[in-house]
């Protein structure tokens, strides 16, 4: 891609549509719908503290986690926007118990795409003004066009993704996405309400000096992770590495992709399958990582090769600069 910086997201989508193997224009409309919903959510996030949209909503989601008010709002905005555009045939959200069947106005289920979304990743941080984000993943349906979507449309391996990305609502708001031809980042100009290409062809450095893990859970980690953390802390060669952990996957991933680093959320004695969701968090981030010359695994196998078995499945997650992930896998395999 030779697109110049400061190209608008709309212009970029049109200019690069031909590089996408399904260049019918529908995916472009879908990315545009996500862009619109992201701008609405960004507006609401920036009002946090001024109006009554921070704090717990009083409900729990399917994972048993307390829903924040902004979780509920972001979920509603993304679902509403995707439904209104009549581009998708199904939506699955981290905040919903089951997938959502979407019928077009002609009721013939002609749409080809499904979207899986984490509407507001890291939402527990919103009360303390820490960056949060949205993660999305797009697949082509595998059920016949013209029929209702099924659970199998959503339980596809991550390798089947045709697009994935995230929005980070921070000091600046960025939309970063891939359609399988590299990763590009767009920054929102709040005065104009327009996203501009600011980070073309994003790549992970092969290695880095940052490791991101919640060391407060150290005693619960498997031995392989404990040994890797000790390796990161040793004074040898280019080590010790720097520990940086925000607690918002989007923010940690974004920093590590730019600066070089590894993000780890392993299974533990208190979370036997890990905490992060395969479909809403790990698959889209793994797809982005591989498109940016990085790597993502569960410590033993590529995330994108895992066959999902349930909508809210959890997995361990090691993601980042390729050499750092490979070194972490070495420690995991030694202690298997």
Q: What token pair was written down for 146?
A: 């013209």
Query: From CA 211, how far away is CA 15, in angstroms rounded?
Result: 37
* Residues flagged as binding site for Mg(2+): 94, 118, 120-121, 281
List the one residue out of 193, 180, 245 whose CA is nearest residue 214.
245
Helix (H) or strand (E) holding 330: helix 322-334
The annotation places the binding site at: 94, 118, 120-124, 214, 245, 275, 281
Q: How far apart are CA 14 and CA 3, in angstroms?
A: 11
Q: Say if CB 12 and CB 173 are below 8 A apart.
A: no
Binding site for substrate, residues? 121-124, 214, 245, 275
C-alpha Rg value of the chain to the nearest Å: 19
What does 19-33 look like in DSSP terms, one character per residue?
Answer: GSTT-SSHHHHHHHH
First to last CA, the chain: 42
For 278, the token pair is: 């395969």
Q: Which position has the token pair 């991933």? A: 253
């Amino acid at each position: 891609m030779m697109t110049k910086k400061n190209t608008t997201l709309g212009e970029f989508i049109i200019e690069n549509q031909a590089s996408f193997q399904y260049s019918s224009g529908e995916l472009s409309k879908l990315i545009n719908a996500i862009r619109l919903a992201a701008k609405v959510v960004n507006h609401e996030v920036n009002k946090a503290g001024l109006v009554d949209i921070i704090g717990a909503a009083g409900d729990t989601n399917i994972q048993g986690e307390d829903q924040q008010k902004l979780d509920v709002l972001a979920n509603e905005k993304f679902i509403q926007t995707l439904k209104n555009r009549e581009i998708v045939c199904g939506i699955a959200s981290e905040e919903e118990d089951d997938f959502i069947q979407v019928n077009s106005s002609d009721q013939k289920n002609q749409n080809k795409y499904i979207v899986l979304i984490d509407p507001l990743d890291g939402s527990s941080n919103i009360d303390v003004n820490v960056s949060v984000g949205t993660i999305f993943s797009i697949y082509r349906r595998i059920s016949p066009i013209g029929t209702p979507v099924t659970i199998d449309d959503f339980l596809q391996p991550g390798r089947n993704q045709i697009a994935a990305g995230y929005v980070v609502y921070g000091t600046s708001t960025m939309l970063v996405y891939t359609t399988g031809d590299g990763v590009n980042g767009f920054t929102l100009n709040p005065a104009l309400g327009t996203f501009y290409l600011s980070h073309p062809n994003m790549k992970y450095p092969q290695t880095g000096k940052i490791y991101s893990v919640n060391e407060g859970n150290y005693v619960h980690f498997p031995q392989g992770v404990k040994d890797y953390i000790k390796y990161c802390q040793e004074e040898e060669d280019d080590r010790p590495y720097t520990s940086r952990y925000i607690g918002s996957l989007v923010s940690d991933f974004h920093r590590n992709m730019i600066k070089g680093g590894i993000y780890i959320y392993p299974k533990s004695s208190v979370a036997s399958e890990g905490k992060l969701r395969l479909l809403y968090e790990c698959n889209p981030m793994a797809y982005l990582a591989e498109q940016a010359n990085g790597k993502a695994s569960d410590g033993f196998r590529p995330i994108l090769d895992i066959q999902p078995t349930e909508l809210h499945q959890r997995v361990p997650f090691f993601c980042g600069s390729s050499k750092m992930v490979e070194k972490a896998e070495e420690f995991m395999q030694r202690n298997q």
